[in-house]
Amino acid sequence: MLALALVLCFIVTVLITPLVRRFAIKIGATDKPNHRKVHQTLMARLGGLAIYIGFLIGLIILQPESPFMLPILIGGFIIIVTGFLDDMTELSAKWKLLGQLAAAGVVIYGGVKVEFINLPFDGQLQLGWFSIPLTLLWIVGVTNAINLIDGLDGLAAGVSSIVLITISSLAIVQGDVFVAALGVVLLGSTLGFLVHNFNPAKIFMGDTGALFLGYMISVISLLGFKNVTMFSLLIPVIILAIPISDTLFAIVRRLVHKQPLSAPDKSHLHHCLLRLGLSHKQTVLAIYAMTAFFGLAAVMLTMATLWISMIILCITIIAIQFLVERVGLVSSEYRPMIKLIRRFTNAKRRLKYEK
């Protein structure tokens, strides 16, 4: 049944996206090129509506049962409305944040919360009252992280698809029918949209799509990894390492340069890779590969012993740090690990020469 829903969501979204494109152009929901954007022509937005419609049709087919279903749908509708209004009128940051907080508040009220964190050696950290702000931070943070990587044709849709493949696969293995159902129908809809959104894109998902994907991924990941034996909170963090890292280092970058946190710039991961000489498609495919790498690391983490898990975590942290320094995600001068490696290499050469 999951496979059938995946295929039907894919087909429905492929067919409905051109209709959404015509609708967006008709009502003036278009994205104009400017100095910060890569595209050079007027593009239709609102592609997220096609993803949303495909997602709803998938839910009608599968009809997953859970007390969380209604709060998730209400929160999703709030996010879609917020994104739609932003694509139409370019809402201010505070109004967009208000919409995200409202959507997060609905699902938290409905019981979707990080109430505890599983630790090694059968330990468990109960969060108590701190569970609400942590859950709120997670949902709003991931929602904005997916929104921030939506800067190239097919980037946000492709990264979200890889993340959803990872989450859905783990949910199926763990026997979590509800999370698997949500993940699969959202995956089918996102892949269907990607047919029209991959370079050269015919339509953008806009904030309607990016905010909805971020919101749904944040909620699905919370539901899917509560019972992972070790490091339960780290699994979704590793799966989402690329969008989360891009967002965190954007904050660091703006603090370092004394800029407002909401200030836009052209120093996100995809901008940095373009400056290194990669083409549009090469940049997107490179970020796909990075996302797949961290997804694989997360899968391995769920199956590994404690010591293997520690090794995987160390490799993951080193990989993120090397990526940040290599592409200049903070600044071109920020390269502590690379400089340390060079010093060690030079010292080793000098020692060899002296001998």
The pLDDT profile of the chain, 355 residues, written as one tens digit per residue, is 889 999 999 999 999 999 999 999 999 888 876 555 555 568 898 999 999 999 999 999 998 889 999 999 999 999 999 999 999 988 888 999 999 999 999 999 998 888 777 766 666 777 788 889 999 999 999 999 999 999 899 999 999 999 999 999 999 988 889 999 999 999 999 999 999 999 899 999 999 999 999 999 999 998 877 655 445 568 888 999 999 999 888 888 877 777 776 667 777 889 889 988 899 999 999 999 999 999 999 988 888 777 888 888 889 889 888 888 888 887 777 788 888 888 877 776 777 676 5
Nearest to 191 by CA among 237, 153, 160: 160
The pLDDT assigned to 306 comes to 75
The pLDDT assigned to 38 comes to 54
The pLDDT assigned to 104 comes to 96
